[in-house]
Structure 1
Amino acid sequence: MTREHERLDEDLTRGKNWKRWGPYLSERQWGTVREDYSEHGNSWGEFPHDHARRRAYRWGEDGLQGWCDRQCRLCFAPALWNGKDTILKERLFGLGGNEGNHGEDVKECYYYLDSTPTHSYTKALYKYPQGRFPYTEIREKNAELGREGPELELADMGMFDGGRYFDVLQEVAKRSPEDMLWRITVTNRGAEAAEIHVLPTLWFRNVWKWGSERETPLRKPSIALHGDHLFASHETLGDFLFYADSPDAEEEPEWLFTENETDYPAIYGIGGPTEYVKDGFHKLLIQGEKDAVSPLPMGTKAAPHLKFMVPAGGSVTIRCRLHATTSADGVTGLAGFEETFEERIAECDEFYGEVITSGLSPEENLICRQGYAGLLWSKQFYHYVIDDWLKGDSDGPAPPEARLNGRNSDWGHFFARDVLSMPDKWEYPWFAAWDSAFHMIPFAAVDPDFAKDQLLLLLREWYMHPNGQLPAYEWNFSDVNPPVHAWAVWRVYKIADPKGQRDLLFLERAFQKLLLNFTWWVNRKDVEGRHVFGGGFLGLDNIGVFDRSHALPDGGKLHQADGTAWMASYCLLMLAMALELASEKPAYEDIASKFFEHFVSITDAINSLGGTGLWDSQDGFYYDQLIVNHDEPVPLRIRSLVGLLPMCAVTVLKQTTIESLSGFRKRMDWFLSSRPDLLKYINVRRNTGDKKSALCLLAIPSEAQLRKTLHRMLDPNEFLSDYGIRSLSKAHDKEPFVFEHGGVRNEVQYTPGESNTDMFGGNSNWRGPIWFPTNFLIVEALERYHHFYGDSFKIEYPTGSGVEKTLKEVAIDICDRLISLFCPCETGYRPCFGNAETAKRYSDVEHWQNLLLFHEYFHSETGEGLGASHQTGWTSLVVRLVRDRREKLCQRIM
């Protein structure tokens, strides 16, 4: 057992609180729903970037790759100034959803490079330009771009030309759970000496001004200078000491103090509670206002001001230490600083040497190490209490009446104050239910207990709605994400612990709450009671011809192939969990029977409703159907993931498992004898002469339907890209799908890259690009089919090639295509970096090499990473593919 594994055990058993501190600080708190107190929910306009340095946040904090405790009471992060910028760099800049030509878009270059699961060691890099940061220009130029054009980035504006930037490398090493060493290394990559100011900043989140009975402390926290260090005192967190120095500084640091309070004159044009405000350091350095900081050495925000002239190619180092007064352990000041870092780095390497599969290439190791780093850095303190948010605080103005019936108003029970796994801490600094589910699959390998806790947390009564719905995402908790939570629970259950030691208590706790969620789906999304579902947009944004979250033409209703497939999958997962639990508790055999019957009924409906169900025998594909004015259903012949997902509703049961549960077997036999017409959906396969090896296949498509679906999916002219499975068939490039009704024309055309429609804000696109979550599910489905059919089932791959392969071989090749996004191709460039200039920089320029970004989705023709640039959450599924590629794939799914 490595030292890091020991820390995980110590934290789990509450022997030592190793996870109390971590990189839990958001990369963006401004522009979020939580900070929006406007009448009509204009989050970007209510709290824009220009307010971020001046206004105290209500629900959290943000910083530049910063840290905080798990309740975000005390924070630390650097502030930087190159002597030219118009804003002190305290947080990452980007365009709001109303500014970018493809929605919200961070405009910075930063990378998560390493982290252990207890954050005993972390490393991150930020590239800070030496020229004046083009805040206004990048906003104006992006506003000129249309949706058809690419996004304008810092590098496009020459901000990194000639190496005229600083590499700001931040590392934190924990000496003990509440003793943290912080090392900032600033390197000048330019050819000339350059000036930089570094302010390692310590501050308290403002919870004292809101008048909230739930949060207002009895006494205001404080940070004061005690000799050569700071003394920070907080009522519930305790007392801490903060040290800072630099062996490269020519002078002793000047300690600066202000208050984490709103700059009322700048924001509201009125006087405030203090003249020393949140942007005091900005005013001092950039505006030259010497009276902007407190003359007294105390406040709620403090920093040493260190100024350097860094020679060309040279580096300077700043060393800091933050520790609880009770955790000094006899160590004074910065003693043993470098030795601690050496130990933690070695322990981090040891941990990943055990976690990451042996035998990987250097490129594959790089993908895994940085994939895990991004996953762990994306943990964030998330605070949102709907009841308080709707009513407002006693020390602030009453919210507009409209808010009480507006966004999230029917989620008054919701109470979050937790560290959660985020999709992207800048572009999506709020949880999304189906994102979180996918995150937990790679998480299960490095921190299985965190993965379990996260899955259970969203099922708790202060998250889950009393009616059983899971909150979708902050912009609209009532929207509907795909029901993949059960899938994640089942997969984490299998991954987290070796067979024979699996956590049945975790499985049972999750199962009981998932029953409520399943019932909500049945009651709300199968309104006709016909086992065909119309779930809404289901996280696929603009994949349909119209917004499926809103009212359909003439009040029509939609029978969704994807919604129905998700529910069939849900049944199979609940069936598998019930059978597992039944091995210890026979009462679960009853509920297993219920999910078996429900799956068969859904399968019958999707294949037979109204004659042919949602299956189009002519096209060999599943389609949504629109029903308007009670007329005959109109198939929406869009070949997309919507029609591939029914293929993913598949599981394989061992006959021995069925036989061992006599109650389940009897009820299953009775059901099938009562409905012999449904026997066609049960497929049993035996090896000759070996009854014990018999397998039972439960799947939506028959073998014939599966072959027709695969024929299209594996066709390079349809779904098969060099980089995985496209979200929309390429056939729609030449033949767009058009739907006209009531004089309104709607069209879906293959769009391999960024979205060219405003649907869902235009910041994501499901009309062609490669998405990791759905590709991962497709790979798993192929593995299950292979497990049942074996090598006897072969399919032409790629379609039209004349070469036949087993489904296992197909699954492995799709894995390779997905992994290849991050590996140098024959040109030496990584496809994920897109255009030639960007790709060259990341391949040929020394200090940009070996830096990876895990984008939200990928251009299906070029492989370029698109959307949110740090969506390591579900794109870190690539780590799982890299690991599993070296194993017998089918063994991991059973």
Structure 2
Amino acid sequence: MMTAEHQRLAVNAKKPIPLAQWGPYLSERQWGTVREDYSTNGDAWHYFPFEHAHCRSFLWGEDGLAGISDYFGNICFAIALWNGKDEILKERLFGLGNPQGNHGEDVKELYYYLDNIPTHYYMEYLYKYPQQAFPYQELRDQNRAKSKDEPEFEILDTDVFKQNEYFDVKVTYAKQSAEDIFIKIDITNRFSKAADITLLPTVWFYNRWQRGNFKQKPVITALDKTSVKLTHERMEDYFFYFQPADKTLFTENETNTEIVMNKPNESIYTKDAFNTAIIKGENLNALTRKKSGTKFSPVYKMNVAGGATTTVYCRLSNKQTDKPFPQNFKDVFALRKGEADDFYAAILPKGINDDKANIQRQALAGTLWSKQYYHFDVEEWLTQSDGITPVSQSKLTGRNNDWKHLKNQDIILMPDKWEYPWYAAWDLAFQCIPMAVVDPTFAKHQLLLVMREWYMKPDGQLPSYEWNFSDVNPPVQAWAAMKIYNIEKKQKGKGDVDFLKKVFHKLLINFTWWINRKDVNGNNIFEGGFLGLDNIGVFNRSFHFPGEIQLEQADGTSWMGTYALDMMDIAIEIAIHDRSFEDTATKFFEHFVLIAESLNEHGLWNEEDRFFYDVLCVTGAEPVPLRIQSVVGISPLYAVSTISKDKLDKLPDFKKRITWFEDFRKKNNKFWPNEERSEDEEILLSLVPKDRLIDLLQRLLDENGFLSKGGIRALSKYHEQNPYSVMLENNTYSIRYDPGDSTSDMFGGNSNWRGPVWMPINFIIIRSIMKYGVFYGDSLQVEYPTGSGNKLNLQQVAKELSKRVVSIFERDGDNGRRLFGDYNWFYNQPGNEHLINYFEYFHGDTGRGLGASHQTGWTALVAELISEYDDRDGGVRLADEVVMSEASLGYIGDN
């Protein structure tokens, strides 16, 4: 079905940049980031704290509440609020920096991504604002006082929402055209009594002129009582229209040097001037008389009756008009909402219940809201001052100093726009899967973007994440590329082979980097280090111990086996269309065989425990298996693929070479990986022999081990009663089952892989088990759960695992959703039942959401699980369901 949104996507796909010019590209936190850190000690949280955010201009971007910007972040719009009691305007979301919380950084606000579509012609955002003074200090004090063994103190633990004494502030964007945006701000008093609130819809310029590279400073100029003109040398003229206001204010988006540097301001027109004018009345008349600046807002003082809603409309447009709000202008909101409904009706599965449909739609909407303008030039950041702190030698030789080539200025999917307002290589790969459901053009663009020359290091390493680009994430890009390719192919009937070729060429370089840098002994056993799993090891796996000590990683080796198999799959798919790729398919097949041999034969498999472990190798001593039952030992399941007879027949050279390779190795008594053939001559390839597969599944499906009510735990519950310890260099390192927030300070203590349920790992496990199940059918059945006596084939197991994961999000009668835990009293209230957050990870026993509360990035994979394994007709949907237009690739270059 070619809906209105699909038609717009078809147009977008043909642009050099496959993006809408305007979208939710404004960050939700710019302070406390590495980009804004010019300190000598690399302490980003203290160098640019929340307390400076309202009065200190940023260098590398902007942030705001429920905001939008153009795709270069030049013009920004967001709302500011005041309840008459706070000491600062509510201009941005508040949260704790890493040193302030008992479990690391965490946003302490209630906000929700209700709706969005790929071209952002329709968007909804809900923010809940207390009528009492916002409990900034209580949140700081309570979290500071709590130990690692206690849960975080959240805003719903305070009293500010207990009596419904708050406002629902809903911001809706509806585009008239690509550069003409209507804005609706609904303020609903959820309390029984009338309450005062001040609203400031604010438009401003990203302060790029402080770098001195503008010919002319941009300016916002008053036209009349209800409109201003925005003039910027890198944009066409824009106009901001608003309904009659109590007053209008102008200032400059420039640092209050008196507060930040103890240096007198050159003028009263600083970034925080609205704050002091509204709250303290300082310079209010001067700001009212001012008729130009780089930051502007109309001011609406309201008294909203209990239960009532007051609405304010604005418009941001490239069109100048005398009638910005014509008689029927409100119709655009209904029209765009209808188009959004049509779009999701076309791409989401039919027949699921309303609750699951809502889970899917909010997950996908949140993914779209997670697009962010990201600007970072590492060389400039290292070598130039921010005007506050001089360049120091420690900075020049400090964090990311070997990434001077990295020059990023793009719209990128963020894992979370508050807690993680920077991309991460493996997060992004997972995020591209749900993105491909709504916009495969952008999904392909994003996956390729991180491989471009201004991202990928010259030696082939992909940037990990902003705090340490040199950390190593699992190499999931090839897997994601095939998933995106198939999502598009199964709907259009034709895949984008050119996309696969581009991915393949780039990943050849990255694969070589892994082989050369992470296989120290050249034996196909890999030492990836961090691998994105934070504290899953008994010690920090990125740490290099002194002396001759090496950690051979079961998951690093498994990821590389998976990588080789995925590259083989890509090469085979391309070779069907371009025979010149046949040789590379053979090459990666051979890589896979050699890695499988190392994984199974060189000490990573523990025959006594029938499980894979990391192995600690100390010169002059016997290797020590680290007998930790974690997803590290489950990771060999990820590497599974099937090759159809049809494809083999089309690639005779590949078939001939792998047959010879098999004969050679078997004749010489060399290891051969799990390879089975079905009746129709389909070949199954996997890292794990069938007998070991059954043993791993027995542990995986044990409710006293890995299997929880909400999916697969990252660490087996076995370690609750059986902690594991190892002594190294006279230090004892220990690990035990830890189902909730991290009780370890490792990696800042803000995430935990020692027991909770993580969506990306569950998604890969479920997909892998399903692949095994499709091949084996009823010929392979296992107990589910282990010890129950209930036998299921692996397709059924995958489906049941998916149900468990989805159940975390579903409403369960009157009890609410398990992900909200003790806060269901709030989400069971009328009007809140439909609200969902997509947490970073989930408690291993209860399913309660933990970590970044709005991380719709990889957690949005739940939408795919619902599509693929729902019980609508008792079947399993392996097809990646999406209807989409033809796609072409593009990127944002320098501006």
TM-score (norm 1): 0.96
1:690 counterpart residue number: none
Q: Percent identity?
A: 47
Match of 2:634 among 630, 636, 644: 644
CA distance 1:817–1:589, change in 2 (3 Å): same
Equivalent position amino acid for 1:425 in 2: K
Deviation at 1:678, TM superposition (A): 4.4
1:108 counterpart residue number: 109
- The 2-side partners of 1:733 and 1:174 are apart by 53
What SS does the aligned partner of 1:667 have? helix
Render the CA deviation track for 1:357-390: whole Å, top value 9, x for unaligned. Answer: 0001011011011111111101111000111101
1:209 counterpart residue number: 210
- The 2-side partners of 1:335 and 1:762 are apart by 55
Match of 1:874 among 853, 858, 866: 858
CA distance 1:323–1:572, change in 2 (3 Å): same
Render the CA deviation track for 1:841-886: whole Å, top value 9, x for unaligned. Answer: 212x113211000000000111100000001010000000001114
CA distance 1:804–1:55, change in 2 (3 Å): same
- The 2-side partners of 1:299 and 1:686 are apart by 72
Deviation at 1:685, TM superposition (A): 2.1
Render the CA deviation track for 1:564-608: whole Å, top value 9, x for unaligned. Answer: 000000000000010111112111111111100010000011111
2:317 counterpart residue number: 323
Equivalent position amino acid for 1:472 in 2: S
Match of 1:761 among 742, 745, 748: 748
CA distance 1:241–1:826, change in 2 (3 Å): closer
Q: Is the 8 A contact 2:315 2:324 kept in 1?
A: no
Q: Is the 8 A contact 1:783 1:890 kept in 2?
A: no
- The 2-side partners of 1:559 and 1:737 are apart by 18
2:735 counterpart residue number: 748
What SS does the aligned partner of 2:51 have? helix
Equivalent position amino acid for 1:671 in 2: F
1:256 counterpart residue number: 249
1:807 counterpart residue number: 794
Q: Is the 8 A contact 1:261 1:277 kept in 2?
A: yes
Instruction: Say yes or no: does 1:268 pair with 2:268.
Output: no
Match of 2:350 among 349, 354, 358: 358
Instruction: Say yes or no: does 1:864 pair with 2:851.
Output: no
- The 1-side partners of 2:639 and 2:17 are apart by 43
Deviation at 1:293, TM superposition (A): 2.8
1:732 counterpart residue number: 719
Equivalent positions of 1:811-826 (< 5 A) are 811-825=798-812
Deviation at 1:741, TM superposition (A): 2.4
- The 1-side partners of 2:360 and 2:801 are apart by 18
1:540 counterpart residue number: 533
Equivalent position amino acid for 1:658 in 2: L
What SS does the aligned partner of 1:117 have? coil
2:8 counterpart residue number: 7
CA distance 1:313–1:827, change in 2 (3 Å): closer
- The 1-side partners of 2:632 and 2:716 are apart by 11
Range 454-463 or range 294-303, more displaced: 294-303
Q: Is the 8 A contact 1:783 1:889 kept in 2?
A: no
Q: Is the 8 A contact 1:49 1:93 kept in 2?
A: yes
Match of 2:418 among 410, 414, 426: 426
- The 2-side partners of 1:307 and 1:477 are apart by 46
- The 2-side partners of 1:384 and 1:889 are apart by 44
- The 2-side partners of 1:698 and 1:507 are apart by 21
- The 2-side partners of 1:394 and 1:106 are apart by 26
- The 2-side partners of 1:25 and 1:397 are apart by 26
- The 1-side partners of 2:20 and 2:239 are apart by 19
Deviation at 1:652, TM superposition (A): 1.1
What SS does the aligned partner of 1:162 have? coil
Equivalent position amino acid for 2:198 in 1: H
Instruction: Say yes or no: does 1:840 pair with 2:825.
Output: yes
Identify unmatched segments of 5+ residues in structure 1. Answer: 247-251, 688-692
Deviation at 1:15, TM superposition (A): 10
Equivalent position amino acid for 2:199 in 1: V
Q: Is the 8 A contact 1:210 1:393 kept in 2?
A: no
Q: CA RMSD in A?
A: 1.7
Match of 1:283 among 276, 295, 298: 276
Instruction: Say yes or no: does 1:705 pair with 2:692.
Output: yes
- The 2-side partners of 1:841 and 1:293 are apart by 40
Q: Is the 8 A contact 1:100 1:142 kept in 2?
A: yes
What SS does the aligned partner of 1:541 have? coil
Deviation at 1:253, TM superposition (A): 2.9
Deviation at 1:333, TM superposition (A): 4.3
Q: Is the 8 A contact 2:252 2:269 kept in 1?
A: yes
Q: Is the 8 A contact 2:487 2:880 kept in 1?
A: no
Render the CA deviation track for 1:802-824: whole Å, top value 9, x for unaligned. Answer: 11110011000000000000112
Deviation at 1:334, TM superposition (A): 5.0
2:53 counterpart residue number: 52
Deviation at 1:352, TM superposition (A): 0.6
- The 2-side partners of 1:494 and 1:17 are apart by 20
- The 2-side partners of 1:15 and 1:714 are apart by 48
1:23 counterpart residue number: 24
1:123 counterpart residue number: 124
Q: Is the 8 A contact 1:480 1:538 kept in 2?
A: yes
1:249 counterpart residue number: none
2:473 counterpart residue number: 481
1:464 counterpart residue number: 456
1:139 counterpart residue number: 140
- The 2-side partners of 1:143 and 1:510 are apart by 46
Q: Is the 8 A contact 2:674 2:687 kept in 1?
A: no
Match of 2:705 among 708, 718, 721: 718
**Greater RCO (Cα-Cα under 8 Å, separation 6 or more):** 2
- The 2-side partners of 1:335 and 1:539 are apart by 54
Q: Is the 8 A contact 1:600 1:678 kept in 2?
A: no
Equivalent positions of 1:141-220 (< 5 A) are 141-211=142-212, 216-220=213-217
- The 1-side partners of 2:591 and 2:431 are apart by 28
2:44 counterpart residue number: 43
Match of 1:295 among 289, 296, 303: 289
Render the CA deviation track for 1:37-64: whole Å, top value 9, x for unaligned. Answer: 0011100000000000010000000000
Q: Is the 8 A contact 1:371 1:854 kept in 2?
A: yes
- The 2-side partners of 1:297 and 1:17 are apart by 37
Match of 1:444 among 424, 436, 441: 436
What SS does the aligned partner of 2:301 have? strand
Instruction: Say yes or no: does 1:227 pair with 2:224.
Output: yes
Q: Is the 8 A contact 2:839 2:851 kept in 1?
A: yes
1:239 counterpart residue number: 237
Equivalent positions of 1:561-572 (< 5 A) are 561-572=554-565
Deviation at 1:777, TM superposition (A): 0.4
Render the CA deviation track for 1:425-445: whole Å, top value 9, x for unaligned. Answer: 000000011000001111111
Deviation at 1:501, TM superposition (A): 1.5
What SS does the aligned partner of 1:847 have? coil
- The 1-side partners of 2:234 and 2:546 are apart by 55
Equivalent positions of 1:369-518 (< 5 A) are 369-393=361-385, 397-498=389-490, 500-518=493-511
Q: Is the 8 A contact 1:224 1:299 kept in 2?
A: yes
Match of 2:331 among 335, 339, 346: 339
Q: Is the 8 A contact 1:682 1:696 kept in 2?
A: no
CA distance 1:678–1:583, change in 2 (3 Å): farther
Range 651-660 or range 500-509, more displaced: 651-660
What SS does the aligned partner of 2:739 have? coil
- The 2-side partners of 1:399 and 1:59 are apart by 17
Identify unmatched segments of 5+ residues in structure 2. Answer: 882-895
- The 1-side partners of 2:340 and 2:204 are apart by 29
Q: Is the 8 A contact 1:423 1:430 kept in 2?
A: yes
- The 1-side partners of 2:583 and 2:489 are apart by 27
Equivalent position amino acid for 1:313 in 2: G
Range 500-509 or range 17-26, more displaced: 17-26
